Structure 1
């Protein structure tokens, strides 16, 4: 993306968006002082941004604490509803979910996370509550590794250096060099399989969705349980269905 000169940018809008992003990480809310410290603002500046969000309905004030309201979810829903790609993708994802009786999801990369943009639930109940808008760490999820696999080496190393990496289960890969190699292998293999790294009892496999220029724009995955599919069975039975669905979804860009 071409970098815009400072004179073309609205600094206050950018800072206001930063404030909203910070609030999004604190669903229980934040005090004025906490926001000022987190956003690098004066108390007066933080107060103006927060009260503006309250006045516009995007935040609510409860005593000394400020928190986002569901109105922001409404914006996200409008964007998703208006994104014809995901409306086009949903029937293809549903075919996969019905055939396997497992959930099928799509996500995009956002900072250090993947954000779910489409999801067809399966018949099996998963302990991880996932829905459109859910954010999960990219480094330990199959869709995250697929989305990261296209990054050039310097950018991938920088991503891993900046990422907040922690061990979520005994299987979680946390060594940055090992993660680099894993993600590089994903680029070669064309898919990522994560075995109980996000949560014990949860396996997932993902493939990329590419636009007409072959750039990865999203990833689609299937999540299952070890009792349902072995790793070998996932590669043998789930992967071909996912690859076919991804190909069908990619035909959207040929229109």
Structure 2
């Protein structure tokens, strides 16, 4: 499709409305009209129209001056995730990995600066935050994020790193963007990524890519564990083979 056709078919108002929805998702406590207008770079009148449209269609609620997303969006997501999607197919495979290792096994996709969990088989509780389908974590300091960033083109990765807000989550977090690019490049070359206590102290995770039939990275799966249970070398030796096998079985979904 040429650029002229794309431009003609592009619906700018829908794009801005979806951006408003994504901003609301990042503020579960709700936002005022003024706050939305400022964050979305809209006029107050424009922000008001989008917010009231979301309220009218049931995707948002209004409590006085504060607008929040409604559970309807979760219903849409659950319908997609459960309706014969890749992840309903992948769940038994991931469950077998979790049972074999007695650790959590998760899957995620890239969404803006974050990874978004699309499937999760719980293991031992190792994080101070609750992880479930829909949870967002920063891509730059997670193993699935490094894998997904490795699937970007060089231009896309450069743009990501320029725009990313990189914060030191632990003393081990890589915050230098040049070093981050090198870590992503290593994950791409190795075919897996290990992140050692960069998101949270005591947490290690290892991830591999899920590729479609064209070879594009569409998702990642990982196993996360306590640092006291597996060293980095043990993760590569004992966990990685199970993850590679699971990833291959999930990728088979694309060619059946």
TM-score (norm 2): 0.95
1:186-197 to structure 2, matched below 5 A, reads 186-197=187-198
Equivalent residue, structure 2, for 1:166: 167
Q: Any conservation in 2 of the 1:112–1:137 contact (CA below 8 Å)?
A: yes
- The CA deviation at 1:17 is 1.1
Unaligned runs of 5+ in 2: none
Residues 152, 47 of structure 1: alpha-carbon distance in 2 compared, 3 angstrom cutoff = closer
CA distance, structure 2, for counterparts of residue 129 and residue 95 of structure 1? 22
Q: Give per-residue Cα distances to partners, 1:87-123, cap 9 Å, x unaligned.
A: 1111110110000110000001111111111111114
Q: Give per-residue Cα distances to partners, 1:19-44, cap 9 Å, x unaligned.
A: 11111111111111111112222222
Residues 9, 194 of structure 1: alpha-carbon distance in 2 compared, 3 angstrom cutoff = same
- The CA deviation at 1:163 is 0.6
CA distance, structure 1, for counterparts of residue 27 and residue 110 of structure 2? 20
Q: Any conservation in 2 of the 1:212–1:254 contact (CA below 8 Å)?
A: yes
Q: How many residues in Structure 1 have an aligned counterpart in Structure 2?
A: 255
1:110 aligns with 2:111: yes
CA distance, structure 2, for counterparts of residue 213 and residue 73 of structure 1? 30
CA distance, structure 1, for counterparts of residue 77 and residue 103 of structure 2? 25
CA distance, structure 2, for counterparts of residue 14 and residue 177 of structure 1? 32
Q: Any conservation in 1 of the 2:116–2:137 contact (CA below 8 Å)?
A: yes
- The CA deviation at 1:130 is 0.6
CA distance, structure 2, for counterparts of residue 233 and residue 31 of structure 1? 49
Q: Any conservation in 1 of the 2:104–2:223 contact (CA below 8 Å)?
A: yes
Q: Any conservation in 1 of the 2:126–2:226 contact (CA below 8 Å)?
A: no
CA distance, structure 2, for counterparts of residue 124 and residue 199 of structure 1? 13
> What SS does the aligned partner of 2:141 have?
coil
Q: Any conservation in 1 of the 2:126–2:225 contact (CA below 8 Å)?
A: no
> What SS does the aligned partner of 1:139 have?
helix
- The CA deviation at 1:2 is 6.2
CA distance, structure 2, for counterparts of residue 166 and residue 200 of structure 1? 15
> What SS does the aligned partner of 1:197 have?
coil
Q: Give per-residue Cα distances to partners, 1:187-240, cap 9 Å, x unaligned.
A: 111100000000011110000111112211110000000111111110110000
- The CA deviation at 1:83 is 4.7
CA RMSD of aligned residues (A): 1.4
Equivalent residue, structure 2, for 1:215: 216
- The CA deviation at 1:124 is 4.1
Q: Any conservation in 2 of the 1:80–1:117 contact (CA below 8 Å)?
A: yes
1:59-98 to structure 2, matched below 5 A, reads 59-98=60-99
TM-score (norm 1): 0.95
